[in-house]
Amino acid sequence: MTAAVIDGTAVARQVREEVGKGVAQLVAAGGTAPGLATVLIGDDPASEVYVRNKRRLCVAAGMADLHRHLPGDVDQASAAALIDSLAADPAVSGILLQLPTPAHLDAEALLARIPAAKDVDGLTTANAGLLAQGRPGLRPCTPSGVMVLLDQYDVPLQGAEAVVVGRSVLVGRPMAQLLLERNATVTICHSRTRDLAEVCRRADVLVVAAGIPGLVGADAVKPGATVIDVGIHRGEDGLHGDVDTAAVAAVAGRITPVPGGVGPMTIAMLLANTLTAATAQQGSGG
């Protein structure tokens, strides 16, 4: 058996095209184009690349690019004042604080200043609480993107055994909650899990977001399972995930590649969240 490859690049393109149409419809109906405020503090090269990609795709979807860049030595009060001004600005539909921030800043306190209605990363405690209670709200982009991939490839979730490796507030926990919403039976694994491979082998759907290169091998995968690799690591010979892709592809039914799997979906869902936020703020439903 060789696993079918889940093409995140193609699905992300579809999502972005749909968002572009939604933006055009909003404007045609007399609304305002959504505005995405990316906030970059300092000059971290990786963060600069991520933000540049987000801004480029935001503009391509017909949205306003309201980027703000603060120096790396900015103080907490000044950074907080910028977030507050964006929160109060009606032109700003969504605010994204690029993480990590410089070490001297309290990123949690800055995130807490973002109104839930403009939290297009889905990271505020308010949106996390709405997700935990199964109520509508803005969802974290990466887990939302995984759900779209599973749906696009007709992966059955109702009654399925799903295992999530990783318990971060960014991916692992919201991923488990989104799967639970779809009536999967969900197990969360982490660094203290006994016999990780044995638990993973139960999964019809295995989502690996542990941040450890090559953590999951063929011995941890049920034959025919769908394997979603959220990890991304730069090695000497290119990018790798948390899954030993070549070995696992011989056992799994479907697998996401790295790169070209979950990664492109994250920005696509950021744009979808920004459109959702703008539609709600402009009173057109959502």
Q: Which of 7, 14, 76, 98 is catalytic?
A: 98
Q: Would residue 118 show up in a list of annotated catalytic residues for this protein?
A: no
Q: Which of 21, 25, 43, 54 is catalytic?
A: 54
Q: Would residue 25 show up in a list of annotated catalytic residues for this protein?
A: no
Q: Which of 121, 204, 242, 244 is catalytic?
A: 121
Q: Under DSSP, is residue 154 helix (H, G, I), strand (E, B) or coil?
A: coil
Calpha distance 266→269 (Å, rounded): 5
Calpha distance 232→224 (Å, rounded): 23
Structure tokens at 270: 């950021």
> Between vectors from CA 176 to CA 271 and to CA 240, what angle results, nearest 5°?
70
Which residues lie across from 255 on neighbouring strands?
5, 227
Q: Would residue 98 show up in a list of annotated catalytic residues for this protein?
A: yes
Cβ neighbours for 49, distance < 8 A, ≥ 6 positions apart: none
Calpha distance 268→152 (Å, rounded): 14
Catalytically active residues are 54, 98, 121
